[in-house]
Amino acid sequence: QSVLTQPPSVSAAPGQKVTISCSGSSYNIGNNYVSWYQQLPGTAPKLLIYDNNKRPSGIPDRFSGSKSGTSATLGITGLQTGDEADYYCGTWDSSQRGYVFGTGTKVTVL
């Protein structure tokens, strides 16, 4: 059972915006950097956001990350059918003494 809680699913029409929350505690999100990973169907996860709000080279600026207190948020604007995927947050947890991933959120484009 993960210590990082995400909504199971979010959906929106093409072109719209979705946000995905990742709720944790002072042991994890509150005191560590958060990363976000996109997992397209049948493929390996890919780094989408790191250090709370930075994008690796090649990731479009439609994807954004933020952190406030013990929660983090991933935003996707201009939603495209190719964005349909599972999204996971992740960070170090000092209580678990290890890296933890969120429960995962499935994004559906209506």
Whole-number Å distance between alpha carbons of 11 and 68: 23
Binder to another protein among 30, 31, 50, 64 (CB under 8 A)? 50
Q: Which of residues 20-39 bind another protein (CB under 8 A)?
A: 32-33, 35, 37
Residue from the set 5, 21, 31, 103 that interacts with another protein by CB under 8 A: 103
Q: Tell me: does residue 40 bind another protein (CB under 8 A).
A: no
Residue in 18, 22, 63, 102 binding another protein, rule: CB under 8 A: 102
One of 23, 38, 71, 91 touching another protein (CB under 8 A)? 91
Residue 69 contacts by C-beta under 8 Å, 6 or more apart in sequence? Answer: 29, 30
Q: Given the complex with another protein, which of 3 and 109 has the nearer CB atom?
A: 3
Count CB-CB contacts under 10 A for residue 73. Answer: 19
Encode 98-110: b = buried (16+ Cβ within 10 Å), e = exposed: eebbbbbbbbebe
